[in-house]
Structures are given as C-alpha cells and as structure tokens.
Structure 1
Amino acid sequence: MTRSLEEHAQNWDLRHEDFGDNDLLYDVYTVMREKSPFAHTDAPFLFAKPEGAWVATRYAECYKILQDWEHFSSNPTPEGAEKLTGDMLVTLDPPRQQKFRKVLNPYFSPARMKALRPQIAAETDCLIDEFIEDGTGDLAQVAWRQPGIVFFKYVLGMPIDDVGLCIELTDTALNGDTEDARMAAWGGMYQHLHDAISARTSQPPQDDMIDVLLSAEIDGEKLSFADIVTNAMLLVQAGLETTASAMSFAFHYLATHPEDRDRLVREPDILPRAVEEFIRFAGSIHGLPRTIAKEVELSGHTFCPGDSVLVNFASANRDTAVFPDADRCILDRRDNRHLGFGAGVHRCLGSNLARLEFHVGLERVLARLPDYTPAPGGEAVFHGNSVTRGYRQIPVVFTRGRRCAA
C-alpha cells in the first residue's frame, strides 16, 4: 500500500493503484464515514469541475441527496454538458426527466421482464454448456456475457457480436489512462450506435428499445436523433457493466465461501434475498455526480450553486448505522433497503431486468455446478473503474456435467 487509509480518505481517488484491493477500498470508506458526512476528492476523472468535488459516503446523506433533485441536480456542470451530444435521461431533472422516463418505463415493467425468464435461463445454460463437460471453466465469462447477450438480443435489438466491443469501449471511456483515450472511446461508442440506429430507420419496426426511442414523443415532439443515440449509449453502459460486475462478485464470493455456496444450493428459496445482499455488499455504484442548483445546507455543510457532489452508493451500503454487520455478506439479510439501484426520481430504470438476470445467473450456475471452487493454480482477476468494479476472470473447477439437451 503506497498510501495510508487516512491519506486515501483525505483525497479519495477510486482509480488509485492501491484499490486493486477491494477490501482496502471499503476500509477507506469506513474512515471517510467516521470523519465527516462529506469527504473530498480532486481526482479529475470523476467530474468536470477542476477544483474538485464533495463525496457523500453515509447512507442518510446519500439518500437525501437522491431524493432532492431541486437542490442536487442531475444536470451536469457547464463543462460536463459540453461533452454530451444530446439529452441523456440520467442527466435530466423533472419535469422533462419524468416525461422521458414515462416513455421507457413500460418496456422495463416487472411483467415484461418476467416474461424473459425462459430466454435468460436458456442463454445462461448455453454459456455454461461451453465448459461444463471439462470440469473447469471461467465464471466471469457467464457474468459478463449473459447480461450483454440478453440486453442486446431481447431488449435493445442489436447483434450480440457487438457486446464485446461495447464492453471494451465502455471500460476505456470510464477508465482510460488519458482524457484523450477516454474521449476517443466515448466517440467510438457514439459512432457505432449512431450507425446501427441509422440503419434501423429504413427497416421494418421491431419490438425493441431502439424502436421505442425512434417512435418516442415528449410534449408532441419526437426525440432528436442525437437524443436517441445518446440514450442508447446510456442503456448499453447501464445494461452491461453494472449487472456483470455484481454477478461476477457473487460468483467469486461463493467460490471462496463454500459454506454460503452450499447453503444457497440447499435453500434456493433465499436466493432473492441473497441477490439483494450481493448488490448491497459489493455490486453498487461507487460514484455518480450531482450539481448544486441552489444553495442548500445538509448535515452542517453548506453547498453553493455549481458545486459538484458525488453520491457514493457503495459506501452508503456499508453504513453500520443502517445495516448491522455491514461488512458481512448475510445471504438472508432482512430490511435490506440498499441504494444499489439508487433512490428518488432517478432510481435505476432497468432494476427489474438486472435483478432477473442476476437471479437466473446464480440459479443456473448453482444448479449445474453446485460444488464449484477456485481452480488450483488459477488466479481471479479483479478490475475496477470509476463507476463500478468486478472480476474479469474467475477460474473454477467442479464435477463434470452434461450439456443441456436443447
């Protein structure tokens, strides 16, 4: 470790090399919460303002910020707005945000997502089939490929061959070594989706999210093409990275905690609670920005218009004031009001789909590889960026099984 916990807490930088150790990161969050309701960071990759940002790390403050869009606006700073090519749902406030969301909400309804369960199970089984006869495999491949295949094939309506490219571009855009590399990745993602959506305008309508965006109207006006592409980018990023990271952590946790793995095999009824606990424990966002729209005081701190505040969902979800034994993963935890999907008007649009993908992914792996453990000599590869964190390789061994008959 090159810096102490206190040094990291004084000027938090999620991209620091020390945070390849995820446990260390949460130790830093503990120090940050104990010292003050608001920490500080001047790491420029997280926000547009050069003078830095405040960081909300406790549950109470994070929740209040997420509920108070009139003071803590999702509209970016002027510097950040310059980088956007259109109105992005996550950077809008009511009333336009609510009107935009009303267009998309029906497509992500619980009933519509529940209807996808057979397809999600089949796609997960196909991924497991690739290695189940070998007695060894990489569960990160399931975690990262399943959400992408489901989202592109059944929701967005794009070729699944695009999944790998979009994951790579998203990762570089969030975690590239230089500003030029990050902006080039954003540009590459925008152009790829621009071309794909342009091609769709001359094709017959399909029942997918791209058609929803193409036909959407707000206050009697269709979305601009830039708005359509920008929100397709948002859906791709949100639909791939967050769910995949959370699922990869769960697979790794269960490989290294066989008693909990065996319990889920014996007691599948607690799987819904386990999914929520994994999201609370390590599957949430580490920093999304808000901009102060008008002066406001919160927990003794006065925020001025134009200030940047980062809402650290991951730290809030380890706050012992809300979650007893917060640093333990308790599979059947009750009263789990985590912020993994946010809160308020900007609560995650795709939470129903994310939960279902996560639940089915765990269900199929535990049903077909019930005794999986870390592969001898193998090494799990952890990867973090400025938004979310997870495992890119999880080599495991298990009793060989059969491919699905289908």
Structure 2
Amino acid sequence: MSPTVEQHAENWDLRHADFNDPDFLYDVYTVMRGNSPFARTDNPFLSATPSGAWVAVRYAECVQILQDWEHFSSSPTPEGAEQLAGDLVITLDPPRQQKFRKVLNPYFSPARMKALRHEIAAETDDLIDVFIESGSGDLAEVAWRQPGIVFFKYLLGMPVDDVPLCVELTDTALNGATEEARMGAWGGLYQHLHDAVTARTAEPPRDDMIDVLLSAEIDGEKLAFGDVVSNAMLLVQAGLETTASAMSFAYHYLATHPAERDRLIAEPDLLARAVEEFIRFAGSIHGIPRTVAKEVELSGCTFSPGESVIVNYASANRDEEQFPEAARCILDRRENRHLGFGAGVHRCLGSNLARLEFQVGLERVLTRMPDFTLTAGAEAKFHGNSVTRGFRSVPVTFTPAARTR
C-alpha cells in the first residue's frame, strides 16, 4: 500500500513513484508547510548525509537560507563532496564564488541575450516545422530540444547533435533506478565533456563558454582542467533541463486550458507575466542543498554545523503566505517574487536566457498553431527526477499550416 499524504510529509522522498503525479506531490507540500517550516527526509539527494537532511518548505525560510551563505554554505557535505570532480561555481561561497561568477556573467547579460532573439525564434520554428503540416505533433519535443539547441549552438560551442545524449545522461544521473546507474551516467557525462574540452584545447578560440572557462583566471591562476570540465558539465545540465521542464508544463497547461491559450493570443502583452507565473507554478526545481557552516537558529529550529538543508523552491512557490491563491496558475499575477531562479548570491546565472527561450517558445507556438489542444484520447506523460520535473510528451492537434522554409 502506498504511503498517505501525511506519511509522505513525515519523510519526504522525491524519487518515490507516487510523485510522478504532480498534483499529489503538491498536496504533500501543503501538509509539510502546515506542519512546520522544516520537514525531514531520510533520502536526501545531491548532498547526502548519513543522518538525512532538513527540508525548508516555506517561502520566508527558503529566502533567508538562500541569502545567508555564511551560515548555510553552498559547499557540499563531505559525503556529497566525494561525488564531485572539481570546484563548481554553485558549490562555492564568496569571495571565490563571486570572482568565478564575474567571469561568466558577461555571457549571460540582458543585451547579449536580447541579440539572440531572432536565432531562438528560427530554431523554434525549425522544430515546429517538423510536424506543422500534419496537424498533430508533440510539443514536448519543442520544449526539450529548443533550450539545448540554443545553448549548445550559440553559447557553449558544442554540436547540437550531442543534445539528446546529454539529456539522457543527465536524467539517468539524477533519477536512475540504482546508485550504480546514476554514478555510471555521471561518469559518462563527465567523460563526454572531458573529451569535448580536451579537443577544444587544440583548436583556435571561438568566444564561447568553453573558451571562457579554459582562459579564465581567478586570483591570478587558471582553473584546473578538472574544474573546467566540471563547470562545463554543470552548464550543460542547467542549460538542458530547467527551462525545458517549465516550458513543457506551459504547453500542457495551455493545451488543456483553451480559454487561457486564447487570452494570451488576444493579449500578447501578458506573455512576460505569464512566463513568470508558469515558472512559479510549474515548480521545475524541487531541491537545492545547503550545508550548515556554523550553528544558527531559524524559525525556532537550531541547525548544527555539518547538517544538510534542502531548499525546496517548488514548495516555497506554492506558499499561500507569499502568493494569494498559490494553487492557481494566474497568468496576469502582478506580485510574483518567485524562487524559480533562486535568490541571493547564487541566483540563476542564466535567468535572462531562460526567460527569452521560454517567451519565444510560447510566442512561436501560439502564433503558428493558435488552436492547439491536447489530442483526444492521448496521454501526456509527466516525468520527474530528483531535481527537475516536467512533461516528456504533450501530444496536440491543431489546424495544419505551412512550414517556414
């Protein structure tokens, strides 16, 4: 017999099969928030400790933790550190983290991202062209391929043909059935990036993210080769899954809520706010670990050095104390300080790119297939792993139209 909502709330395990029902998962989060600002899990991920971990589930506490790096460090626990192959920008604390981030920031500036709008639209159109003439297709293919193609082709400098392999390896690494499968996938992804970066050292510079990492200096020293590979791997994971997960949710939501779909077509100025609401409501990211660096009390709970705390963005983004009618997707929501991109010194480096990919992805689908609906009798397949969650299949039908080229 499956555990009840209350039993899941007592010992949260995001990999549990019950949570492939996203509505059930949010029912559990509601109970967790009602019980306490902090839940417990015996099955933490990414930065495991033998004694389990705390889980921050309310908005206020999540924000405080994310902004207090002196007490809640991004450095992994000793057990988690054993799984890392180098220093990652997301596992560093200031001041080194800020110096590392300063190297990468210019490549994600608003101006640089804005200049990519035409290319992102063209890549999205190419994906839609695959099925536009038939009157039916799978919008998850657009959601899961567009961000990877854009990131690999225009920022990272890797072949777009590598996208499917990297998506598969990343997903298995995060949610493989066994520890052996997960570690094997991590190793496979690392080796793939290791080979790609090694090949680039013998080639002329291309002004892309791999070149930035290879030439970066912090405190007068170049990054170790292992750190270059590890951070390239981090960028691949971030560039492939998070935006794709949220976009797949948006496509499914609009395919099953035709009045909302039609409203966005009639009121295109709402699109930017709708993207923010989809990011809040979809809850792509469900857990980012922090390690307690020194004893601290927060909301009546005392945390000791070495303990692990998982910051649950998705639960925080459904906190009724912060978001009125939090369980509703309100496309014109005005006050929306969601945690979809985190907060504090580690706020998402690629948020400008993610917003642009998301907005253009919606614009092109709404423009070219404005009457799309979920295919009658077909099943939209939801898939969740220990970090990102979204739809892997969103079959739709619509009035056939012409290809762009």
TM-score (norm 2): 0.99
1:284 Cα deviation (Å)?
A: 3.4
1:3-402 alignment, distance < 5 Å:
3-402=3-402
For the residues of structure 2 that align with 1:314 and 1:79, how far apart are their CA atoms?
A: 25
For the residues of structure 2 that align with 1:397 and 1:178, how far apart are their CA atoms?
A: 37
For the residues of structure 1 that align with 2:109 and 2:44, how far apart are their CA atoms?
A: 37
**Which digits, 9 at most, give the CA deviation of each residue in 1:208-245, with x for residues without a partner?**
10011111100111111000000001000011110000
Given residue 374 of structure 1, which amino acid in structure 2 is its aligned partner? L
Given residue 144 of structure 1, which amino acid in structure 2 is its aligned partner? W
> Contact (CA 8 Å) 1:44, 1:50: kept in 2 or not?
no
**Which digits, 9 at most, give the CA deviation of each residue in 1:178-236, with x for residues without a partner?**
11111111110000000001000111110210011111100111111000000001000
Instruction: Classify the secondary structure of the residue corresponding to 1:387.
Output: coil
For the residues of structure 2 that align with 1:355 and 1:349, how far apart are their CA atoms?
A: 12
Given residue 266 of structure 1, which amino acid in structure 2 is its aligned partner? A
For the residues of structure 1 that align with 2:145 and 2:388, how far apart are their CA atoms?
A: 17
Given residue 35 of structure 1, which amino acid in structure 2 is its aligned partner? N
For the residues of structure 2 that align with 1:43 and 1:52, how far apart are their CA atoms?
A: 6
1:315 Cα deviation (Å)?
A: 0.3
Given residue 358 of structure 1, which amino acid in structure 2 is its aligned partner? F
Given residue 230 of structure 2, which amino acid in structure 1 is its aligned partner? T
1:46 Cα deviation (Å)?
A: 4.5
For the residues of structure 1 that align with 2:227 and 2:259, how far apart are their CA atoms?
A: 48
> Contact (CA 8 Å) 2:214, 2:223: kept in 1 or not?
yes
**Which digits, 9 at most, give the CA deviation of each residue in 1:114-165, with x for residues without a partner?**
1000000000000000000000000000000000100000010000000000
| Off by >2 Å, runs of 4+ in structure 1 | 44-47
For the residues of structure 1 that align with 2:164 and 2:369, how far apart are their CA atoms?
A: 25
Of stretches 39-48 and 334-343 in structure 1, the one that deviates more from structure 2 is 39-48
Instruction: Classify the secondary structure of the residue corresponding to 2:186.
Output: helix
For the residues of structure 1 that align with 2:127 and 2:234, how far apart are their CA atoms?
A: 26
1:17 Cα deviation (Å)?
A: 1.1
For the residues of structure 2 that align with 1:65 and 1:50, how far apart are their CA atoms?
A: 22
Given the superposition, is the C-alpha separation of residues 331 and 44 from structure 1 closer, same or farther in structure 2, using an over 3 Å criterion?
closer
Given residue 386 of structure 1, which amino acid in structure 2 is its aligned partner? S
> Contact (CA 8 Å) 2:248, 2:392: kept in 1 or not?
yes
Instruction: Classify the secondary structure of the residue corresponding to 1:297.
Output: strand
1:45 Cα deviation (Å)?
A: 3.5
Instruction: Classify the secondary structure of the residue corresponding to 1:382.
Output: strand
For the residues of structure 1 that align with 2:44 and 2:259, how far apart are their CA atoms?
A: 42
Percent identity between the two aligned chains:
78
1:4 Cα deviation (Å)?
A: 1.0
For the residues of structure 2 that align with 1:284 and 1:193, how far apart are their CA atoms?
A: 25
> Contact (CA 8 Å) 1:249, 1:283: kept in 2 or not?
no
1:44 Cα deviation (Å)?
A: 4.4
> Contact (CA 8 Å) 1:255, 1:374: kept in 2 or not?
yes
For the residues of structure 2 that align with 1:283 and 1:142, how far apart are their CA atoms?
A: 19
**How many residue pairs get matched?**
405
Given residue 159 of structure 1, which amino acid in structure 2 is its aligned partner? P
Instruction: Classify the secondary structure of the residue corresponding to 1:123.
Output: helix
Superposed CA RMSD in Å reads 0.8
Instruction: Classify the secondary structure of the residue corresponding to 2:269.
Output: helix
> Contact (CA 8 Å) 2:283, 2:313: kept in 1 or not?
no
Given the superposition, is the C-alpha separation of residues 308 and 8 from structure 1 closer, same or farther in structure 2, using an over 3 Å criterion?
same
Given residue 116 of structure 2, which amino acid in structure 1 is its aligned partner? L
For the residues of structure 2 that align with 1:108 and 1:91, how far apart are their CA atoms?
A: 20
What are structure 1's unaligned runs of at least 5 residues? none
